[in-house]
């Protein structure tokens, strides 16, 4: 008996489902002797031969079968070329079976070569359209403009009913940050979804494969037959990999018939997905998927510099304040005075609403800070927990429970250690800002008990909007606020050391 536990989702071995989606068929060939090791049972629908008749047979049997259907294909030469040069050169290999255009897509999976056959449907030259799309997308200077245009171009290319840019947040949950949809559909823009909607191992697969097509949630998947009960074939890189029954149920609950996603990566991590829905079954041709992959790649590389630009419009102001403070430290012999008594003070260096400096056994404060009896235990906790020169959070009470009592004044902190041995530090505080989160369904209830699916649980079937007021949280610190604090810390510790040296020299 499995208990209802969301970590179950992360453990479903979705790369070895033993099945494929039935819009194509699959064969696997041993890379040493070229014998057929696996074949999907729907082969009979496409080639008129049963999968089991081909199992454990030499590749020649497949070549003969294809020849009888009018397909001239040098499969051995293709595999040999793939073996030496990689399959990217060959994919997709176009062929016509019984008058129907197909693509053969090949890759290696451990000791097998996997051959996947998909119907080719595209009538026009996708390359031409993509060039124009990319130019259109890159015209945008702002990140938001870029994302919106990318969604629009993907929608134009694949003609799905809804195309969303889904961005992951630090805690793994996600938000729809851009959307292009058919007019009659209700918007999902601005809605948040819990992390468990896309489990960890699925995210790993989307880092390896840049597109994922789920062509029709209402068709049965096709089992993959093997000769002597071999271990299930590893479909990590397969395009036809069958979909987890849990995710199928999720899509059905959303009313979606086909789903397509394109990975967006930033610095090797999954930044988000371009998530596309169609409300009736719709397959996307390999070449069109490749076009979308290109759009995803270009968007991913554009993210890198646009996200930095986007960070915080006040960054420049903070930067100037840090420079001014550094100059004051040079000109004013008193450290505390240099940081608190001049035109520019520590509160100008970032978006903090209060600051405390613990220096030479005294506590100095500016702006709003927790009361002394709250501050002292916090300082002790920081001295014990801080290993690095800096510690920051925008949700202090999640890490330090007593902070609940002063969350209004200080939900965000940046603490900089000046001297661990002397217990000297600067702590910036930022007030709580109540934020409203619009969830699609109650995030606390991502699963419901049911008989559907191997894990005896089903994804929630309510996506009705659920409003949550987020408490005990301050707006996040930006990267440049953190960098500014580090820079200032270095300047202060250097000044302290210099002054100490000067005093020592005087006394000698």
Q: Please report how close the Cβ of residue 261 comes to ligand BLA at its closest, in angstroms.
A: 3
Give the SS3 label for residue 443: coil
Give the SS3 label for residue 408: coil
Q: Please report how close the Cβ of residue 281 comes to ligand BLA at its closest, in angstroms.
A: 14
259 binds ligand BLA, rule: CB under 6 A: yes
Q: Which is nearer to ligand BLA, 213 or 403 (CB)?
A: 213
List of residues 6+ apart from 210 with CB closer than 8 A = 262, 263, 293, 296, 297
For tokens 């020592």, name the residue.
504
Q: Please report how close the Cβ of residue 449 comes to ligand BLA at its closest, in angstroms.
A: 12
Binding to ligand BLA in span 400-459, by CB under 6 A: 446-447, 459
Binding to ligand BLA in span 324-343, by CB under 6 A: none
How many residues make contact with ligand BLA (CB under 6 A)?
Answer: 28
212 binds ligand BLA, rule: CB under 6 A: yes
Tell which one of 118, 175, 197, 424 touches ligand BLA (CB under 6 A): 197
154 binds ligand BLA, rule: CB under 6 A: no
Site string for ligand BLA, 174-193 (x = CB under 6 A): x-x-----------x----x
- How many CB atoms are located within 10 Å of the residue 179 CB? 22
C-alpha to C-alpha distance for 55 and 61, rounded to whole angstroms: 10
Give the SS3 label for residue 101: strand
- Piece of 242-250, 317-325, 361-369, 469-477 that binds ligand BLA (CB under 6 A): 242-250
265 binds ligand BLA, rule: CB under 6 A: no
C-alpha to C-alpha distance for 256 and 424, rounded to whole angstroms: 58
* Count of alpha carbons within 13 angstroms of residue 419, beta-carbon side: 14
Q: Which is nearer to ligand BLA, 250 or 286 (CB)?
A: 250
Q: Name the residue among 241, 19, 234, 26 with its Cα closest to residue 111.
A: 234
Instruction: Give me the helices (H) in 164-311, please.
Output: 200-208, 245-253, 286-310
Q: Please report how close the Cβ of residue 33 comes to ligand BLA at its closest, in angstroms.
A: 31
Using alpha carbons only, give the angle 142, 145, 146 rounded to the nearest 5 degrees: 85
For tokens 């030479």, name the residue.
360
- Piece of 44-52, 195-203, 343-351, 408-416 that binds ligand BLA (CB under 6 A): 195-203
Q: Which is nearer to ligand BLA, 259 or 351 (CB)?
A: 259
Q: Please report how close the Cβ of residue 86 comes to ligand BLA at its closest, in angstroms.
A: 24
Using alpha carbons only, give the angle 123, 293, 298 rounded to the nearest 5 degrees: 120
Q: Which residues pair with 224 in a beta bridge?
A: 40
292 binds ligand BLA, rule: CB under 6 A: no
Q: Which is nearer to ligand BLA, 130 or 198 (CB)?
A: 198
Distance between the two ends of the chain, CA-based, in angstroms? 78
133 binds ligand BLA, rule: CB under 6 A: no
9 binds ligand BLA, rule: CB under 6 A: yes
Tell which one of 166, 168, 283, 428 touches ligand BLA (CB under 6 A): 166
Specify the length of the chain in residues: 508
Using alpha carbons only, give the angle 227, 233, 235 rounded to the nearest 5 degrees: 150
List of residues 6+ apart from 388 with CB closer than 8 A = 417
Q: Which residue is nearest to ligand BLA (CB)?
A: 9
Q: What are phi and psi of 354, to 5 degrees?
A: -160, 160
Q: Please report how close the Cβ of residue 212 comes to ligand BLA at its closest, in angstroms.
A: 5
C-alpha to C-alpha distance for 352 and 431, rounded to whole angstroms: 8
Q: Which is nearer to ligand BLA, 261 or 345 (CB)?
A: 261
Tell which one of 146, 195, 264, 273 touches ligand BLA (CB under 6 A): 273
Q: Both tokens of residue 335?
A: 């450290």
Tell which one of 75, 146, 198, 235 touches ligand BLA (CB under 6 A): 198
Give the SS3 label for residue 184: coil
Q: Which residues pair with 58 in a beta bridge?
A: 35
Tell which one of 246, 264, 295, 358 touches ligand BLA (CB under 6 A): 246
Q: Which is nearer to ligand BLA, 6 or 503 (CB)?
A: 6
Query: Contact positions toward ligand BLA, by CB under 6 A?
Result: 9, 12, 14, 164, 166, 174, 176, 188, 193, 196-199, 202, 212, 214, 243-244, 246-247, 250, 259, 261, 273, 275, 446-447, 459
């Amino acid at each position: 008996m499995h208990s209802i536990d969301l970590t179950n989702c992360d453990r479903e071995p979705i790369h070895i489902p033993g099945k494929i989606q039935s819009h194509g068929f699959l064969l696997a060939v041993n890379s040493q002797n070229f014998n057929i090791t696996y074949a999907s049972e729907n082969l009979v629908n496409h080639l008129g031969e049963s999968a089991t008749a081909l199992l454990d047979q030499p590749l020649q049997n497949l070549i003969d079968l294809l020849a009888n259907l009018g397909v001239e294909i040098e499969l051995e030469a293709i595999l040999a070329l793939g073996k030496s040069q990689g399959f990217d050169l060959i994919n997709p290999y176009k062929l016509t079976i019984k008058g129907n255009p197909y693509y053969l897509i090949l890759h290696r999976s451990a000791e097998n070569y996997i051959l996947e056959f998909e119907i080719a449907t595209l009538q026009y030259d996708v390359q031409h359209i993509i060039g124009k799309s990319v130019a259109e997308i890159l015209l945008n200077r702002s990140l938001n403009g870029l994302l919106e245009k990318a969604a629009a171009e993907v929608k134009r290319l694949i003609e799905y009913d809804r195309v969303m840019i889904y961005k992951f947040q630090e805690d793994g949950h996600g938000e729809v940050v851009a959307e292009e949809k058919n007019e009659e559909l209700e918007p999902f823009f601005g809605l948040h979804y819990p992390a468990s909607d896309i489990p960890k191992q699925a995210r790993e697969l989307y880092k390896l494969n840049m597109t994922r097509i789920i062509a029709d949630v209402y068709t049965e998947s096709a089992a993959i037959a093997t000769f002597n009960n071999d271990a299930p074939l590893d479909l990590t890189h397969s395009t036809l990999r069958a979909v987890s029954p849990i995710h199928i149920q999720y899509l059905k609950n959303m009313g979606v018939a086909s789903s397509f996603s394109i990975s967006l990566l930033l610095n090797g991590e999954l930044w988000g997905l371009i998530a596309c829905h169609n409300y009736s079954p719709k397959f996307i041709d390999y070449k069109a998927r490749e076009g979308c992959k290109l759009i995803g790649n270009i968007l991913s590389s554009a993210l890198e510099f646009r996200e930095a630009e986007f960070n915080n419009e006040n960054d420049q102001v903070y930067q100037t304040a840090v420079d001014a403070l550094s100059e004051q430290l040079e000109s004013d012999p008193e450290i505390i005075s240099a940081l608190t008594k001049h035109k520019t003070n520590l509160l100008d260096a970032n978006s903090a609403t209060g600051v405390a400096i613990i220096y030479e056994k005294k506590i100095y404060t500016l702006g709003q800070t927790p009361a002394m009896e709250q501050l002292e235990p916090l300082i002790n906790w920081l001295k014990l927990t801080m290993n690095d020169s800096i510690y920051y959070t925008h949700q202090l009470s999640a890490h330090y429970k007593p902070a609940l009592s002063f969350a209004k004044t200080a939900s965000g902190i940046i603490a900089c250690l000046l001297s661990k041995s002397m217990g000297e530090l600067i702590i910036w505080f930022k007030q709580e800002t109540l934020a409203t989160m619009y969830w699609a369904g109650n995030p606390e209830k991502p699963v419901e008990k049911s008989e559907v699916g191997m894990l005896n649980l089903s994804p929630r079937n309510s996506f009705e909007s659920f409003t949550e007021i987020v408490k005990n949280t301050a707006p996040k610190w930006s990267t440049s606020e953190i960098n500014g604090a580090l820079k200032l810390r270095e300047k202060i510790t250097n000044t302290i050391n210099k002054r100490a040296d000067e005093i020592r020299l005087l006394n000698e």
